[in-house]
Amino acid sequence: MNTRKVVQLFFTTLIIGSLSGTIVGLLLDLDLYTSGSVANLIVGIIWIAGISAAFSLIAQMGFFAYLTLHRFGLGIFKSVKLWNWVQVILIAFVVFDLIYLRYIAFAQEGETIFHYMVMPLALLVYGAIIAYLKAKDTNKGAFIPALFFMVVITSIEWVPALTVNDPKWLWVYFAPLIAANTWQILILHRLQQQ
């Protein structure tokens, strides 16, 4: 992979993350941005696009950190099968933590744990779909690493919004992360083949 392809990956990921976050951010606060003048709408779009661009940069850092981590994992465990089992255990641990730790930290009286299961389980299902597509495009061995990246790395990148627990910011932060991570994991092998 040459420098031109890395730059292409950087800018396309930045654009995809920014657009997805801008769309979700506008939809979540449409009244805020459309009430008032056109200048209010323009400044609002620029602001939410800038925030989304920052989140997509975090996704890119997470992607390159994962590529490094994956190589370390293969080197430390000396076996793809063992490294895959470690990743599966970490996926289960992260999904459990996303449910249970958020529940004990933020649950109010009358709320059940099922309310806190929706987003982590949706992320797991979405991650499995993306991992399936990645494995179908490359090889079966890509499923677990892609699932690990989509669930674990996205969750780590999502931590600042998770600690605030504001539904609006959970989605505004999540949209560029998931869009950028999906793009990166599905396009990388195509860029390497060119």
Give residue 161's pLDDT.
87
Q: What is the pLDDT averaged over residues 5-24?
A: 94
Cβ-Cβ contacts under 8 Å for 14 (sequence gap 6 or more): 53, 56, 57, 60, 180
| CA neighbor of 29 nearest in space, from 121, 166, 148, 125 | 166
Share of the chain above pLDDT 70, in %: 99
Is residue 191 predicted with pLDDT exceeding 90? no
Q: Are 147 and 85 in contact (CB under 8 A)?
A: no
User: What is the C-alpha to C-alpha distance for residues 4 and 155, in angstroms, rounded to an integer?
Assistant: 29
Mean pLDDT of 62-80: 93
pLDDT given at position 108: 87
User: Residue 109: which region, alpha, beta or left (left: phi > 0; alpha: psi -120 to 50)?
Assistant: beta
Full domain range(s) for residue 128: 3-193
**Residues ≥6 apart with Cβ < 8 Å to 21:** 48, 49, 51, 52, 53, 55, 56, 172, 173, 175, 176, 179
* pLDDT at site 41: 86
Residue 194's pLDDT is: 67
Q: In angstroms, rounded to a whole number, what is the distance separating the alpha carbons of residues 116 and 100? A: 8
Q: What is the pLDDT of residues 111-147, one digit of tens each?
A: 889 989 999 999 999 999 999 999 999 999 999 999 9
* Number of independent structural domains in the chain: 1
pLDDT attached to residue 169 = 86
Average per-residue pLDDT in the chain? 92
pTM of the model: 0.92
Half-sphere exposure of 49 toward its Cβ, with a 13 Å CA cutoff?
Answer: 10
